[in-house]
Chains A and B, each alone.
Chain A
Amino acid sequence: MTRGDSDWEGVRLHIVTGKGGTGKTTVAGALALALAASGQTVLLCEVEGRQGIARLFDAPNRTYDEHRIAAVPDENATAGEVYGLAIDPEAALAEYLEMYYRMGRAVRALDKVGAIDFATTIAPGVRDVLLTGKVYEAVRRKEKKRTHGRVYDAVVLDAPPTGRIARFLGVNAGVADIARVGPIRRQADSIMTMMRAPQTVVHLVTLLEEMPVQETADGIAELREAKIPVGAVVVNLAEQSPLDAKALAAAAGGSLPRSDFTSALRETGLSADDETVTGLLTDAREHAVRVELENELRAQVTALGRPTYELPRLTDGVDLGALFELSHALTAQGMA
Chain B
Amino acid sequence: MTRRKKTVDGLHGLEIDALLDDRTVEIVVCCGSGGVGKTTTAAALGVRAAERGRQVVVLTIDPARRLAQAMGLPELDDTPRRVEGIDTKRGGHLDAMMLDMKRTFDQVVLATTSPEKAKVILENPFYVALSSSFAGTQEYMAMEKLGQLHADALADGRYDLIIVDTPPSRSALDFLDAPKRLSSFLDSRLLRLLSAPARGPIKVFSAGMGLVTGTLTKLLGAQVLTDIQTFVSALDTTFGGFRARSERTYALLQEDRTAFLVVAAPEPDALREAAYFVERLRDERMPLTGMVLNRMTSPAATHVSAERSLSAAEALTESGKHPVAAAVLRLHGERMRRAVREHHLAERFASAHPGVSVAGVPALSSDVHDLDGLREIGARLSGE
- Pick the 10 closest A-B CB pairs, nearest first: A20-B34, A21-B35, A279-B301, A182-B221, A124-B136, A125-B134, A124-B134, A264-B325, A20-B35, A114-B188
The answer to whether B224 and A182 touch across the interface, beta carbons within 8 angstroms, is yes
**A177 interface neighbour in B125, B168, B182, B300, Cβ under 8 Å:** B125
Residues on B with C-beta less than 8 A from A290 are 365-366
The answer to whether B312 and A50 touch across the interface, beta carbons within 8 angstroms, is no
- A322 an interface residue at 8 Å Cβ cutoff? no
In addition to A214-B66, A267-B319, A293-B367, 7 A-B residue pairs with Cβ atoms within 8 Å of each other are A113-B209, A167-B133, A177-B128, A270-B308, A281-B328, A283-B299, A287-B331
Instruction: Report the separation of the CA atoms of residues A175 and B125 in the bound assembly, to the nearest whole angstrom.
Output: 10
Q: Which residue on A lies nearest to B272, using beta carbons?
A: A55
Instruction: Report the separation of the CA atoms of residues A109 and B311 in the bound assembly, to the nearest whole angstrom.
Output: 69
The answer to whether B223 and A180 touch across the interface, beta carbons within 8 angstroms, is yes
Please choose the segment from B8-16, B23-31, B211-219 that sits at the chain A interface, where 4 or more of its residues have CB less than 8 A away.
B211-219
The answer to whether B316 and A264 touch across the interface, beta carbons within 8 angstroms, is yes
Please choose the segment from A6-14, A136-144, A255-263 that sits at the chain B interface, where 4 or more of its residues have CB less than 8 A away.
A255-263
Chain A 109-134 interface mask (CB, 8 Å, partner B; 1/0): 11011110110011011011000000
Residues on B with C-beta less than 8 A from A101 are 218-219
The answer to whether B327 and A276 touch across the interface, beta carbons within 8 angstroms, is no
Residues on B with C-beta less than 8 A from A127 are 135-136
- B108 an interface residue at 8 Å Cβ cutoff? no
Q: Of residues 343 to 381 in B, which have CB atoms within 8 Å of A's CB atoms? A: 365-367
The answer to whether A215 and B212 touch across the interface, beta carbons within 8 angstroms, is no
Residues on B with C-beta less than 8 A from A316 are 341
Instruction: Report the separation of the CA atoms of residues A315 and B309 in the bound assembly, to the nearest whole angstrom.
Output: 16
Chain B 170-185 interface mask (CB, 8 Å, partner A; 1/0): 1000000000011011
- A275 an interface residue at 8 Å Cβ cutoff? yes
Whole-angstrom distance between the Cβ of B184 and the nearest chain A Cβ? 7
Please choose the segment from B83-91, B151-159, B242-250, B332-340 that sits at the chain A interface, where 4 or more of its residues have CB less than 8 A away.
B332-340
Instruction: Report the separation of the CA atoms of residues A193 and B190 in the bound assembly, to the nearest whole angstrom.
Output: 32
Residues on B with C-beta less than 8 A from A212 are 35
The answer to whether B190 and A118 touch across the interface, beta carbons within 8 angstroms, is yes
Instruction: Report the separation of the CA atoms of residues A159 and B341 in the bound assembly, to the nearest whole angstrom.
Output: 29
The answer to whether B188 and A113 touch across the interface, beta carbons within 8 angstroms, is yes
- Tell me how many residues of A have a C-beta within 8 Å of chain B: 87
**B337 interface neighbour in A125, A247, A315, Cβ under 8 Å:** A315
Instruction: Report the separation of the CA atoms of residues A164 and B299 in the bound assembly, to the nearest whole angstrom.
Output: 36
- Tell me how many residues of B have a C-beta within 8 Å of chain A: 83
Whole-angstrom distance between the Cβ of B152 and the nearest chain A Cβ? 26
**B221 interface neighbour in A125, A179, A260, Cβ under 8 Å:** A179
Residues on B with C-beta less than 8 A from A103 are 215
How many A-B Cβ pairs are below 8 Å? 247
- A39 an interface residue at 8 Å Cβ cutoff? no
- B282 an interface residue at 8 Å Cβ cutoff? no
**A264 interface neighbour in B170, B301, B326, Cβ under 8 Å:** B326
The answer to whether B316 and A268 touch across the interface, beta carbons within 8 angstroms, is yes
Residues on B with C-beta less than 8 A from A180 are 221, 223-224
Residues on A with C-beta less than 8 A from B337 are 315
Q: Of residues 263 to 310 in A, which have CB atoms within 8 Å of B's CB atoms? A: 263-265, 267-271, 275-276, 278-284, 286-287, 289-290, 293
Residues on B with C-beta less than 8 A from A174 are 129, 133-134
Instruction: Report the separation of the CA atoms of residues A125 and B136 in the bound assembly, to the nearest whole angstrom.
Output: 7
**A278 interface neighbour in B2, B170, B311, Cβ under 8 Å:** B2
Whole-angstrom distance between the Cβ of A273 and the nearest chain B Cβ? 10
The answer to whether B270 and A247 touch across the interface, beta carbons within 8 angstroms, is no
- B64 an interface residue at 8 Å Cβ cutoff? yes
Whole-angstrom distance between the Cβ of A212 and the nearest chain B Cβ? 8
Instruction: Report the separation of the CA atoms of residues A243 and B334 in the bound assembly, to the nearest whole angstrom.
Output: 13
- B321 an interface residue at 8 Å Cβ cutoff? yes
Q: Which residue on A lies nearest to B128, using beta carbons?
A: A177
Residues on A with C-beta less than 8 A from B338 are 315
- Sampled A-B contacts (15; CB under 8 Å): A21-B265, A109-B208, A112-B208, A170-B133, A175-B129, A178-B125, A182-B224, A261-B328, A270-B308, A279-B302, A279-B332, A280-B328, A289-B366, A293-B366, A315-B341
